[in-house]
Copies of this chain bind each other. A is one copy, B any other.
């Protein structure tokens, strides 16, 4: 009989000497004291380093800021959860009663944490070279098809750079209105320019996110007026 864990090892391309390590990596804290939280701490640092190293080599001309943005896009929870799903990692997860009932095996955070813990376990079981090999294999498709590092900049930065490149003054952000109770505050923010009529506004649950959305809308308006 082939268990879910054995299938996972096959998809990983790595066979554990110490099966208990993999099993612990797949055990969510809802199960009890022996869980994957410590391995996740180790695996998170490992994945960060291996991805940094792979990007450093793949992008020999990229500046530090571009490397940082690319790495953030590769190691964020959503991306790690996607890689975990490609491995059908959830079939091999061990969850406590409460998480089983609420569908925890589908949750991004649980999948991403187990993914990191699993790589931490490979490192403990087989050493750095083995862990780097597995990690690079899992990230291979993403590393081969990296997004444009500029597109990963946040909207306020992109708007600022667009304006600076044209010698224009920086935008101004104002909170037009705050509403809602303290725990569910809503911010209405306007982005405007001192040298043009174009304005854009956006709502958000934080000032920061509303400013980003307003900047994005303003940049789109400016770019389409420029075409």
Contacts and interface: CB of A to CB of B under 8 A. Distances in A.
If over half of A's interface residues share one DSSP class (helix, strand or loop), that class is named, otherwise mixed; here it is helix
A65 B178 CA distance: 35
How many chain copies? 2
Interface string A165-191: 000000000000000000000000000
Interface in A41-84: 41-42, 44-46, 48-49, 52-53, 56, 62-64, 67-68
A48 B53 CA distance: 13
A45 B52 contact: yes
A213 interface: no
Contacts of A16: none
Nearest to A33: B63
A211 interface: no
Given A56-B42, A128-B128, A37 B63 contact: yes
Interface of A: 37-38, 40-42, 44-46, 48-49, 52-53, 56, 62-64, 67-68, 123, 128-129, 132
